[in-house]
Amino acid sequence: MSDHEGATRAARAATAKTLIVKLSPNVTDIAAIARVVEAAGADALAVVNTVRGMSIDIDRAVPRLGNVSGGLSGAAIRPIALLAVWEIAQAVRIPIVGQGGIENARDALEFLLAGASAVSIGTGNFTDPRAPVAVTEGIRAYLAERGHTSLADIVGAANPGFLGMR
């Protein structure tokens, strides 16, 4: 049993509440892990966590972070997160919460079209605390412009291998 499977089974056994498992992009095959976590009882997936990174202070010639490395988030990881959602949407049927660098409605729409059922805004809230409102309004406008009555109409629409429910 993998660590992912064991942790998910233990969490599932501990609660009947909705279990959303957050996946890290710092793995070789995120879609395989998503399948394992789904089979172990996850109700949904939060995709993705931060990406490992580091920075060096060139004047002092030392890492800027005390732990040498840390989590990189924000717009820089959006393409990595979007690819992870795309791949996972072809591997599982449970809902995916896309996250990683979403700052505006266009960013959120990419995740939805790739197969996310919902999105989460993290770092973007620091830059613009009204980002969630603007994203929601932008998605509503996009749906209305295209004659869609439901967000489900576009989830996975750009992903030919999408397995989730539409």
Whether the bond into 85 is cis, omega within 30 of 0: no
Instruction: Tell me the residue range of the domain where 17 lies.
Output: 3-153
Q: How confident is the model at residue 1 (pLDDT cuts 50, 70, 90)?
A: confident
pTM beyond cutoff 0.85: yes
Q: Is residue 159 part of a domain?
A: no
- Residue 25 vs residues 11, 68, 97, 155: alpha-carbon distances, Å: 21, 19, 14, 21
Q: How confident is the model at residue 165 (pLDDT cuts 50, 70, 90)?
A: confident
Check pLDDT > 90 for residue 93.
yes
Report the pLDDT averaged over residues 71-98.
97
Q: Write the pLDDT tens digit of every residue in 96-150.
A: 999 999 999 999 999 999 999 999 999 999 999 999 999 999 999 999 999 999 9
Q: Is residue 164 part of a domain?
A: no
What is the Cβ-side half-sphere exposure of residue 38, based on CA atoms within 13 angstroms?
Answer: 19
At 166 the pLDDT is: 65
Q: Is residue 158 part of a domain?
A: no
At 86 the pLDDT is: 98
At 43 the pLDDT is: 98
Q: Is residue 165 part of a domain?
A: no
In 3-state terms the chain splits into helix, strand, coil percentages (rounded to 5) of 40, 15, 40
Q: Write the pLDDT tens digit of every residue in 22-63.
A: 999 999 999 999 999 999 999 999 999 999 999 999 999 999
Check pLDDT > 70 for residue 163.
yes
Q: Is residue 73 part of a domain?
A: yes
The helix/strand/coil state of 99 is strand
Q: What is the domain count for the chain?
A: 1
- Residue 85 sits in a domain of what CATH number? 3.20.20.70
At 164 the pLDDT is: 86
For the chain, what is the mean pLDDT?
A: 96
